[in-house]
Amino acid sequence: MYVADSRGGAGTEVRDATRPGPRATAVAPTVLVLGTVSLITDVSSEMVTAVLPLYLVAGLGLSPLGFGLLDGVYNGFSALVRLVGGHLADRGGGRYKAVAAVGYGLSAVCKPALLLAHSLPLIGAVLAVDRTGKGLRTAPRDALISLSSAPETRGRAFGVHRAMDTAGALLGPLVAFLILRQAAEGYDAVFTVSSCVAALGVLVLLLFVPGGRGGAPAPASADSPAPSLRASLALLRRRDVRRLTVCATLLGLSTVSDSFVYLLLQHRLGVPDRWFALLPLGTAAAFLLLALPLGRLADRMGRWRMFLAGHVALLAAYGLLLAHGPAYAVLLLHGAFYAATDGVLMAAASTAVPDELRGAGLALVQTGQATARFAASLAFGAAWTAWGDRTALTTAALALTVCAVCAVYLRPAQSK
């Protein structure tokens, strides 16, 4: 097995999991390196994510509606640039690494900027730029994973990547918790350490991720014209791509963001402030344990079925929150939801789009989902402010039930 030098171009030879042979079922080295990059980056990102809700709501006195606006920016702003990132990555024979590097770098620069942002408009601007970087890098990274993996093992490949990514998400809140316990200026210390870790992730990407298409076969003709934005948007004419995008968008409209789930746990179950930063650990631990087995199971039973099953787990988590169920059970179901949906959706979408438009095709699905979650954060924050958390959560649960039923009837023909 040969791993390309990170300075190699699109023509650099890489023997990878897409080639036939006895090791065709092995996880590609590109997937492992990208998983390492995501692990490091998620340590940085989740350090901030773990303390941000409490910092904004308890520290700055933000209302649920105001927090919903900022949370929508944080989780949904990337939707505005995901299609652009996927389209740029598909051009020039597949500039996936270059576009992903710009995205990772942009997010890394934003971490120290949080040290200087002490007003809501400035914090919102920093979060918007950070999520722009997230939007630029997500589709190229997932395209590299899918192009580096054999079709029958893509669920496993995405499961491995998401498991490594989630290991970082598991470590990030723990590091933030330890820093807050030891440092006098706790939040500033968290943002400083997060900046250093983010820079390390960019360095690993630049040095060790292969250039070009990450080991995937090169396009049939080097003289083929670069994919146009119109061709990227025309993917919606494909039945499976269109239905995947519509279903992901519908279900995203009824998905309460992670930050609101943790605030609900604190508000409804009385979790002390000092333990708030540890709540994401429960979700991350469940995600880490379940991502690979559920990814492999999705390859066998059908990825779309697994995707829908994940939303059933999310609905059960909502039910436990409403019934004042144990926090550990809510976090377990929350992590199972992500393990059954995050990488599985991208594996399903990879089957429906052609190689030369892989970045744009994945970005279309991601854009619909992220835009819907942006709207969901705004709506949930407004509902909580107007009616209270119980009514808001009940409405979200009912909406998820209706959207899941619609998704069953709209399921794409290719569910594998």
Q: What is the CATH number of the domain that holds 299?
A: 1.20.1250.20
Per mean pLDDT, which of 69-73, 122-126, 316-320 is the most reliable? 316-320
What pLDDT is recorded for position 182?
Answer: 82
- More confident site: 98 or 9: 98
Q: Does any domain span residue 14?
A: no
306-315: average pLDDT: 95
pTM of the model: 0.71
Q: Does any domain span residue 21?
A: no
142-157: average pLDDT: 86
Who contacts 7 (Cβ-Cβ below 8 Å, separation ≥6)? Answer: 211
Domain span at 159 = 29-210+231-409
| Residue of 37, 22, 33, 416 lying closest to 215 (CA atoms) | 33
Residue 390 has pLDDT above 90, yes or no: yes
Q: Does any domain span residue 219?
A: no
150-170: average pLDDT: 87
Q: Does any domain span residue 15?
A: no
What pLDDT is recorded for position 75?
Answer: 66
Q: Does any domain span residue 2?
A: no
Q: Does any domain span residue 268?
A: yes
Number of domains present in the structure of the chain: 1
360-377: average pLDDT: 85
User: How far apart (Å, rounded) are the C-alpha atoms in residues 185 and 78?
Assistant: 30
Which of 38-42, 325-329, 364-368 is predicted with the least confidence, judged by mean pLDDT? 364-368
Q: Does any domain span residue 302?
A: yes
What pLDDT is recorded for position 185?
Answer: 62
What pLDDT is recorded for position 30?
Answer: 92
What pLDDT is recorded for position 92?
Answer: 57
Residue 387 has pLDDT above 90, yes or no: yes
- More confident site: 245 or 80: 245
User: How far apart (Å, rounded) are the C-alpha atoms in residues 327 and 261?
Assistant: 11
| Residue of 293, 224, 253 lying closest to 396 (CA atoms) | 253
Who contacts 218 (Cβ-Cβ below 8 Å, separation ≥6)? Answer: 10, 11, 93, 212
User: How far apart (Å, rounded) are the C-alpha atoms in residues 24 and 47?
Assistant: 37
Residue 16 has pLDDT above 70, yes or no: no
What pLDDT is recorded for position 94?
Answer: 61
Q: What percent of the chain has pLDDT over 70?
A: 85
Q: Does any domain span residue 71?
A: yes
Which of 25-34, 296-305, 306-315, 404-413 is predicted with the least confidence, judged by mean pLDDT? 404-413
What pLDDT is recorded for position 370?
Answer: 83
Average pLDDT, the chain: 82
What pLDDT is recorded for position 164?
Answer: 92
Residues in the chain: 416
- Residue pair 157/145 in contact by the 8 Å Cβ criterion: yes
What pLDDT is recorded for position 5?
Answer: 33
